[in-house]
Amino acid sequence: MSYVIGTIINLLVSTSYAMTPLTLTAVGEITSERAGVVNIGLEGMISVSALVSVAVATQTLNPWLGLLAGVGVGALIGLIHGLISAYGKGAQIISGVGINIFALGFVPYMIIALWGVAGYKQVPEAGRIPRVAGLVSPVFILCVLVAIATHYVLFRTSLGLKIRALGEEPQAADTLGIHVERLQLIAAVYGGALAGLAGAFMSLDWLGTITKEIAAGRGFISLALVVFSNWKPSLALLGGALFGSSWALTEWLKVLPGVKGVVPVTIINTLPYVVTLGAVAGVIGRARPPRKSGVPYLRE
Amino acid sequence: MEDTEATGPDECLVSMKSVVKIYPDGTIALRGVDFTLRRGEIHGLLGENGAGKTTLMKILAGVLKPTSGTIYVGGRKVGFSAAADALKLGIGMVHQNLSLIPSFTVYENIVLGLSRRQLLNAKEGINKLMSLTGLKVPLDERVEGLPFGVRQKVEVLKMLFRNVDVLILDEPTTNLTLTETRELFNVINGLRRMGKSVVFITHKLREVLEVADRITVLRRGRVAGEVPRVEASLNLLAQLMVGKDAIPAVSRGVSTVGEELLIVRDLWILSDLGTWAVKGVSLTVRSGEILGIAGVEGNGQKELVEGLTGLRRVEKGEVIFRGQRIDNLPPSELYKLGVAHIPEDRVQVGLIQDFTVNENSILGIQRSMFFRGFLNTLAWDKVVEHASDLITKFNVIVPSLFSPVKYLSGGNQQRLVVAREISKEPQLIIAAQPTRGLDISATEHIRGLLLDLKKRGKVVLLVSSDLEEILQLSDRVAVMYEGRFVGVKDVGELTEDKLGLMLGGVSD
Amino acid sequence: MRGKVIRDVLVKTGNVVTAMTAGLIIGGLIMQAYGYDALHAYYSLLRHALGNPLTDAYPLTSTLSLATPLIFTGLAFAVSVRSGLFNIGVENAVYLGALGMVLASGLLRADTPLVLIIGSLMGLGLSVLFAFVAASLKVFRGVHEVITTIMLNWIAYWLVDYVRVNVFPDPRDPSKTIAVPPSARIPLLIRGTELSASFVIAILASLTTYFILWYTVFGYELRATGINLMAARYAGMKTSRLTIYSFLFSAVLGGLAGVCEITGRPPHYSITTGISNLMGLGFDGIAVSLIGLNHPIAVIPASILIGALNTGVRGMQIEARVPFELVRLVQGVIVVSLALPGLLSTLQKYLGIRRGRREVVVS
């Protein structure tokens, strides 16, 4: 009995960890897409922020400064992408892919450049984020709050109304005197900041290490989560728990007696991706993207 | 807005002087228009397509910038760089395709962009406004589920809630039912009592007579006349709108009219909004005949053409061509049966702008065995031969056969489309607005080609909002109004009065 | 009028050159910032990329050899862009193409050229299968291809890793799969180099792709659908079917990259741990395709350019101690820059360079 309860608690805790980066990133991307800016560079932003936050935390031995640096770097990349998308009327998908490719080179390059090691770098204990009650991450709590707050702002305030109008019909918003580009930029920066927080959480808190594959597709799974949650931050919290539990389950299955050594680990590893693919394919008919998301707004 | 208060009630609230608008593509929409609007008046702005009504009002609403000319609001010269600027000065426009956000609720649409403080008592304010004006809308429902008439009310409320003094309505009755139109007129009359000024853009004669205090008629970018309501009559307005030179004395050429090739029975087609755009249209065309379908745009012609050419679903009714049912056949099948289509939108539909002249010359006939070479490949030598054949025969001026068509002028693009469609040797050609925006020589050329087809015993279905074109080419004319044919007449029976009346929805 | 066409091409080329300059400058700054000598690094990169072709064939052959898989993946991506898709599944096609060869080698256990034939068929079959999943989800369910293809990339990744660890590991070196038998390998063009006949196959693939896109009705319709869906429908094309074919076409090209990489590159002839010898080739194809203006022929010089960078960077790593990953970083900056439609004109405006002609203000 106690074994069962222990397992359940274990799974819940590991789900809370696995869902945090997915939910944070998805909530940011929801805000950005609601404002009309699609960013498929999330994967790259997670890994770049993860790296920078480790660099700062290792240097200062202060995890909070590291976390802040991660958020800042995410916001910076969000700013660049926002400038290209909102003001430059550029191709958002290409810019996003470029960010991913950049990260593919930047992260392993920096691991060598900073620490002279190839592959991965452990975060020193003093640079790791302490846990609440020895169990829960403060970032997880922050993540829940952020999701709820973002939901509130998007759906209950005049600012949220403006943001959502941009993704649906920027022209209507423009006519009413809303600054389309400025608000799109802000939303893109916010999205970047949350992806940055997700990355910093992964390296400084959850995994305690930085590798070049740290994001492992989570940026793209967050994109799928955006679709799955029908562009609603509150549902991203629930969907994040679902997607996150598939990661927790994966890790659990790997060591489960009767599975361990029987089903290869590599096969178990495909689970989160299969779950994501199935979930998105199943729900897509009912999900409704913002109508003008990803489309540059050009005036008459 | 101190200046406006200084002006008396009869003074002009808005005055536009010698407004000229030339679009970037060279189209001249306004050629020096003066327009005045008094406080508390309903001003009808009447004209057919291309007269410049919407352009003029978009300039007043800050959506477009004039090429030259000045605007005074409340006696003060103004220059708008965005619609929001005009809105701040109390000028709001309700566009034909409303700028509402479908997934938002009515309330959200109305208060969009307002600050938190303005939102405090918003619901109360809107409710008060609703009872004051008689505009009743469900505040908490999503706009997308509402019928068009209600959506329009939302848009009007949105403007009134922002305290506009001038409300511009662009063809507001286009998608309305009769009852809805009545309601709208009541609202407009109520606005007059509140001291608001309304500009009512329309082509519908009876409606403008019913609701306007003063009527400005535009024709081809100029003011054709400005009449107070008391002096206006259906006939006078029709004449001003269409002009004395409408009926050209051009010989249509004789052709032997033969058997009935195209028969359409009780056709029903939906618009993008999900309302009926075509409501039971029937027609027959014989070989060697041009049937002209006239009408102001937005009366269902576009949907009718798309339905006949396989681009839009026909919900009800049948289309019979040479004894065979062809309704809801895909475009590729229609082509094989000898149906060609000159689409209304040459930029987005008729041509692929980034494709070369060569490539565009086989659009739609790309599968023809004629262009196949060794191993079934596309034989470019044959395509080039075909393309150069087209451009010489049809006088298309191109920089090179290998340059993208986006570098061709509008007239040459259209010549290319027409040339390609005629080269398909069709039995039936459906030509939608075939000469819109073209210069005289291109226009005459294309009209000549259509007449030539007719002489060779083909069927031509000409859909055009250009009356001159309809009258010059057609043997019989049908006027489309609100999804139906107002009447089908031999061209000889038509006078400018009669035509103007039919266009405005008045049948005899 | 004719000048416009030429100007168009010049502007596009100018954009690419500007983007590449931006990439190199930012790459240089990042090197400098972390204590490397950027000028020295770029110099050694250049020297190793070019070498002296008369005395030393290695740099040139190495460049061409490294360009080979990029030609395939660049083509694969160009085909998808030309048909209006953003198919990132090229990456999994590469893995699966290689996987097919490994499976054939492991199953047949014979040193015969037959392995090459069966292996490539299996590899391409697997690539096409995965692409079909993405294509159907796009056409029938409306799921955006970026999401599906990335998930499929990871699924393919772990499947390949499964085969490497559990099914056909190299008995002598378990970090790799078993190798493709010698007689099933694509012969080297020049002994002692890495350049194999797969380069020739890549060139042929490029010509074939060009031929299909511009000399067949299928290619014509594919391109039409990619530019203007409405006009394509007007012209009677079956656009959904064309979308599916485009996915499959890309998958075949991507799969070929995998097949050629594992049968035509010494010394491994196998899939190494973490799929490190294949990983990222699909993503590099995006940069290659965009630099080559998504044209099948221009993809060749674009691949050679990136191939030269990849060759030079090896020398750079040894001489200036700069990690070779720098090249991918530079590529990323190039792609981000290429997202801006009027890169060159924006830059001109920013730098205050005036055009000779004044534009007439109309609106």
Domain ranges of chain B: 2-242, 245-338+426-508, 352-425
For B493, counting Cβ atoms within 10 Å of its Cβ (0-12 exposed, 13-18 middle, 19+ buried), the class is exposed
For residue B149, name the pLDDT band (cuts at 50, 70, 90). confident
Are C261 and C357 within one domain? Answer: no
Query: Which among A97, A269, A274 has CB closest to C335?
Result: A97
Main-chain dihedrals φ then ψ at residue A299, nearest 5 degrees: -80, 160
Place of tokens 């939608």: B432
Please write the tens of the pLDDT for every residue from B275-315.
899 999 999 999 889 999 988 878 899 999 999 999 999 99
Among candidates C162, C165, C339 on the partner chain, residue whose Cβ is nearest the Cβ of A98:
C339
Domain B2-242 shares a fold with domain B245-338+426-508:
yes
Question: Which residues have CB under 8 Å from C15's CB, separation 6+?
Answer: C338, C343, C344
Helix (H) or strand (E) holding B395: none
Region A240-251: what's the mean pLDDT? 92
Are A175 and B111 an interchain contact pair (Cβ–Cβ within 8 Å)? no
Which chain C residues touch B349 with a CB distance below 8 Å? 230-231, 234
With contacts defined as CB-CB under 8 Å, which chain C residues touch B330? 236
Residue C48 to residue C44: CA distance in whole angstroms: 6
What is the arithmetic mean of pLDDT over B28-49?
92
**Among A103, A220, A270, beta carbon nearest to C332:** A103
Task: Name the H helices within B284-379.
Answer: 301-308, 331-336, 357-360
Strands B76-78 and B91-94: unpaired
Q: How far apart are the C-alpha atoms of C152 and C133, rounded to whole Å?
A: 9
Mean pLDDT of B228-249: 79
Backbone angles phi, psi at C253, to 5 degrees: -65, -45
Judge whether A192 and A74 are in contact, CB under 8 Å: yes
C217 to chain B: nearest residue by CA?
B378
C240 touching B, CB under 8 A?
A: no
- Residue A175's closest CA among B28, B141, B30, B168? B168
Nearest 5 degrees, angle CA B498-CA B503-CA B506?
65
Q: What is the CATH number of domain B2-242?
A: 3.40.50.300
Residue B1 has pLDDT above 60, yes or no: no
Q: How many CA atoms lie within 13 A of A172 on its CB side?
A: 30
Please tell me whether residues C73 and C203 are part of one structural domain. yes
Q: Is the minimum CB–CB distance between C55 and chain B shorter than 8 Å?
A: no
Q: Is B363 on the interface with C (CB under 8 A)?
A: yes
Asked if B474 and B447 touch (Cβ cutoff 8 Å), the reply is no
Q: How confident is the model over B94-121, as pLDDT tens digits?
A: 998 788 999 999 999 999 988 888 888 8
Yes or no, beta carbons of C332 and A108 under 8 Å apart = no
Name the residue among C35, C143, C339 with its Cβ closest to that of A94.
Answer: C339
Q: Are residues C361 and C264 in the same domain?
A: no
CA neighbor of B224 nearest in space, from B496, B442, B430: B496
Quick one: C286 and C176 in the same domain?
yes
Average pLDDT for B143-149: 84
Chain B residues within an 8 Å CB radius of C8: 404
Q: What is the pLDDT of residue C360?
A: 33
Would an 8 Å CB–CB cutoff place C261 in contact with chain B? no
Over pLDDT 90: what percentage of chain B? 52
Q: Which A positions 172-201 lie with beta carbon below 8 A of chain C? A: none
The DSSP secondary structure of A88-121, one letter per residue, reads S---HHHHHHHHHHHHHHHHHHHHHHHHS-SSEE
User: What is the domain count for chain A?
Assistant: 1
Residue A167 included in any domain: yes
Asked if C131 and C248 touch (Cβ cutoff 8 Å), the reply is yes
Strands of B339-342's sheet in order across: B339-342, B428-432, B459-463, B289-294, B476-481, B484-490
Structurally, chain C folds into a number of domains equal to 2
B400 and C5 within 8 Å at the Cβ level: the answer is yes
Domain membership of residue C43 (yes or no) is no
Q: Is residue C52 one of the residues assigned to a domain?
A: no
Whether residue C82 is contained in a domain is answered as yes
pLDDT at B249: 47
Tell me: do C115 and C170 sit in the same domain.
Answer: yes
Which residues make Cβ contacts (< 8 Å) with residue B247, sequence separation at least 6? B471, B494, B495, B496
A73: in domain: yes
Measured distance CA(C244)–CA(B40) in Å, rounded: 60
**B257 pLDDT more than 70:** no
Q: What is the pTM of this model?
A: 0.85
Judgement on whether residues C24 and C138 belong to the same structural domain of the protein = no
Q: Looking at the complex, report in whole angstroms how far the Cα of residue C333 sits from the nearest Cα belonging to chain A.
A: 6
CA-based nearest residue in chain A for residue C88: A97
Using the Cβ of B82 and the Cβ atoms of chain A, whether some distance falls under 8 Å is answered with yes
User: What is the C-alpha to C-alpha distance for residues A43 and A36, in angstroms, rounded to an integer?
Assistant: 19
- The residues, ordered by sequence, that sit 6+ positions from A108 with a Cβ below 8 Å of its Cβ are A118, A119, A212, C323, C325
Q: Do the domain assignments include residue A289?
A: no
Residues of chain C with pLDDT under 70: 1-4, 53, 346-363
Residues C16 and C82 in one domain: no
The three-point CA angle B341-B345-B351 to 5° equals 75
The token duo for C3 is 């000048």
Contact B112 A300 (CB under 8 A): no
The answer to whether residue B508 scores a pLDDT higher than 70 is no
Q: Within its chain, how far is the Cα of A111 from the centroid?
A: 21
The pLDDT of residue C356 is 38
Q: Of 3.40.30.10, 3.40.50.300, 1.10.3720.10, 3.20.20.150, which CATH number belongs to B245-338+426-508?
A: 3.40.50.300
- Angstroms from B38 CA to nearest CA on chain C: 28
Q: Which of B103, B104, B113 lies at the smallest CB-CB distance from A176? A: B113
C12 residue type, one letter: K
Q: Is the model's pLDDT at B177 over the cut of 80? A: no
| pLDDT at C10 (0 to 100) | 85
Does residue A182 sit at the B interface (CB-CB below 8 Å)?
Answer: no
Identify whether A216 is part of a domain. Answer: yes
Enter the ipTM: 0.91
Examine the domain organization and report whether C346 and C204 are in the same domain: no
Report the SS3 class of residue B218: strand
What is the mean pLDDT of the segment spanning A237-243? 93
Average pLDDT, integer, range B180-198: 92
Residues of B in contact with A177 (CB under 8 A): 82, 84, 87-88, 113
Structure tokens at B173: 């009755």
Residue C362's pLDDT is 30
User: Furthest-apart CA pair in chain B: how many Å?
Assistant: 82
pLDDT tens readout for residues B393-449 = 888 888 889 888 988 877 789 889 999 999 988 999 999 999 877 776 778 888 999
Q: Is A291 on the interface with B (CB under 8 A)?
A: yes
- Mean pLDDT, range B451-462, rounded to an integer: 91
Q: Determine, for residues A269 and C290 on separate chains, whether the beta-carbon distance falls below 8 Å.
A: no
Domain identity same for C291 and C334: no
Looking at the structure, tell me whether residues C160 and C209 fall in a common domain.
yes
The verdict on C219 and C70 lying in the same domain is: yes
Task: Determine the structural domain holding residue C334 and report its residue range.
Answer: 1-36+322-363
Say which of B64, B334, B366 has its CB closest to residue C220: B366
The whole-number pLDDT of residue B87 equals 92
Instruction: Classify residue A293: in a domain, yes or no.
Output: no
How does DSSP classify residue C179? P
Q: How confident is the model at residue B247 (pLDDT cuts 50, 70, 90)?
A: low
Domain of A267, in residue numbers = 9-283
| Closest residue to C147, CB basis, from A88, A220, A269 | A220
Q: What is the CATH number for A17?
A: 1.10.3470
C221 in B contact zone (CB under 8 Å): yes
CATH number, domain containing residue C66: 1.10.3470.10
| C239 and C356 housed in the same domain | no
Token pair listed for A83? 């400038």
What is the average per-residue pLDDT within A140-155? 97
Q: Which amino acid is at B443?
A: T
Pairing outcome for strands B197-202 and B42-46: parallel
C281: in domain? yes
Q: From the list A158, A172, A178, which residue is nearest B99 (CB)?
A: A172
- Confidence check: pLDDT of B248 > 60: no
C2, closest residue in chain B (CA to CA): B399
- Chain B partners of A288 at a C-beta cutoff of 8 Å? 103
- A209 in contact with C at a CB cutoff of 8 Å? no
pLDDT at B97: 79
Q: Which residues of A touch B119 (CB under 8 A)?
A: 158
A-chain residue closest to B162, CA distance: A176
- Min Cα–Cα distance to chain C from A131, Å: 31
Asked whether residue A208 is assigned to any structural domain, the reply reads: yes
With respect to residue A41, please indicate whether it lies within any of the assigned structural domains: yes
pLDDT at B24 over 80: no
pLDDT at B226 over 90: yes
Q: Which two tokens stand for residue A275?
A: 């779950």
- Asked if the Cβ–Cβ distance from B354 to C217 is below 8 Å, we say no
Interface check A232 vs B, CB under 8 A: no
